[in-house]
Amino acid sequence: MPDAPVCRAVVKVQLQDGLHLRPLTQLARMAQGFSATVTLHKGGQAVDAKRPLDLMTLAAACGEELIVEANGADADAAVAALVRLFESDFADGAP
């Protein structure tokens, strides 16, 4: 069986208050829409992007860079969607 596709991208937190509960919830809901495993990395820490409480442990502040990584059939689409969310400052979607 071939390895599942892996896709990664670097994103920058541009929200003045960093990644607080509302954007984290948006991010998790979006990630949950994909079958791929989606992980967010900050430094040496990696968390499940489909779990808002796990995302909170990153304590990602404004200006910090994170790595979005997805593994699975729709990994490219998952990473692309999350990159767009970061680039839009979490403007597309309700909490």
Question: Which of the residues are catalytic?
Answer: 20
d(CA 84, CA 24): 14
